[in-house]
Amino acid sequence: MSIKIGVIGAGMIGSDHALRIKDTLKGGVINGINDINKENSKRLSKELGGVKIFEDPHALINSSEVDAILVCSIGPTHEEFVLASIAAGKYVFCEKPLATSAVACKKIVDAEMKFGKRLVQVGFMRRYDSGYQKLKKAIESFEIGDVLMMHCAHRNSSVPESYVTEMAVSDSLVHELDAVRWLLKEDYVSAQMILAKKTKYSHEKLHDPQMLLLETVSGVRIDVEFFHNCQYGYDIQCEVVGSDGIMTLPEPESLVIRKGAKKFTNIDPDWKNRFIDAYDIELQEFLDGISSENIKGPSSWDGYAAAMASDVCIKAQKTGAIEPFSIVDIPDFYI
Ligand code: ISE
């Protein structure tokens, strides 16, 4: 029997997820949607063949017509909707960030532990990307010896005026903060943020580009360039430097074109396409986790760890100093 899903947030990623459940994945059916923007709800309802629109997100969460919730609304709303889903005893897939502060994520962790079983999966889809998985496997088998450093880049062609300096961390950099911690199986001890020379393509409220320098418990150093108006496309880079060699995240497959005295490959400007397979796999795993009552994907604790890291990075943005992390032990519940 199909799992009945309610989707909160019918914008870009919410619509994509709903349509992949309808058209590509197995075991789920969208039974209700909600969006603060009525036009979005109407459009998505139509694309899904007339799915019921709920005016009130809490009515959707508590409806007997849905078994599980996808939270795809804007970041500041996540805490409220994830907590309400846990209170209703419903499985919930929450897009990143789990919440916009570590304090809010900790409330989710506490509520889930109190409930007594994992209900939450966080949308850190890079963990499902085949390139990142190859890197992880190679790191774990010491293919290049001990990891010493990593160089990462996260570039968007452009972002809207609503995208401000802090969001560059909580909305974008949060992917690296999770992916690097997952790849290395280590927490961070310090972060320093460097605001680079500002591009002429950025707007007043976004300092762009920026650089982050992280250090892990064992002393691995990671630099991340994040650049939100790079103009040329959506580009994610990750190079791992080890004691015995270097490994690079594979580029997405792309035709090599020879034309007009040039040889080139295209770079997709849309971030939704870069990890399209990973999105499919993470959501299928969520549906399968519900069926087997065993949610295995990125947990509330992972969302909390990423939010603690985001908070430190946002502080470091303001102070320009090397900011320390507090080390928090992971509860057995999440091991
Ligand atoms: C966007 O909001 C995302 O969610 C993407 O995953 C991220 O890589 C991008 O930088 C954000 O703008």
- How many Å lie between the centroid of ligand 1 and the Cα of residue 96? 9
User: Quick one: pLDDT at residue 278?
Assistant: 97
CA-closest residue to ligand 1 atom 10: 172
DSSP letters spanning 32-101: EEE-SSHHHHHHHHHHTTSPPBPSSHHHHHH-TT-SEEEE-S-GGGHHHHHHHHHHTT-EEEEESPSSSS
DSSP 154: E
Q: Of 101, 102, 312, 98, which Cα lies nearest the Cα of 213?
A: 312
Nearest atom of ligand 1 to the alpha carbon of 159: 12
User: Quick one: pLDDT at residue 105?
Assistant: 97
CA-closest residue to ligand 1 atom 9: 172
User: Quick one: pLDDT at residue 1?
Assistant: 82
- Give the integer Cα–Cα distance in Å for 307 and 316: 14
Query: What is this structure's pTM?
Result: 0.96
Contact, 60 vs 51, CB < 8 A? no
- How many Å lie between the centroid of ligand 1 and the Cα of residue 19? 19
User: Quick one: pLDDT at residue 84?
Assistant: 98
Cis ω for the linkage preceding 76 (within 30 of 0): no
Give the mutation target among 96, 171, 210, 235 for probing the ligand 1 site: most ligand atoms within 8 A of CB: 171
- How many Å lie between the centroid of ligand 1 and the Cα of residue 313? 17
- How many Å lie between the centroid of ligand 1 and the Cα of residue 271? 6
Long-range CB pairs of 159-166 (<8 Å, 24+ gap) are 159/206, 159/228, 159/229, 161/203, 161/205, 163/206, 163/228, 164/205, 164/206, 165/205, 165/206, 165/207, 165/210, 165/317, 166/314, 166/317
Q: Of 125, 166, 107, which Cα lies nearest the Cα of 310?
A: 166
Residues of the chain with pLDDT under 50: none
Which residues have CB under 6 Å of ligand 1?
Answer: 156, 171-172, 175, 271
User: Quick one: pLDDT at residue 255?
Assistant: 96
User: Quick one: pLDDT at residue 122?
Assistant: 98
Q: Of 319, 325, 323, which Cα lies nearest the Cα of 307?
A: 325
User: Quick one: pLDDT at residue 327?
Assistant: 83
- How many Å lie between the centroid of ligand 1 and the Cα of residue 97? 10
- How many Å lie between the centroid of ligand 1 and the Cα of residue 182? 18
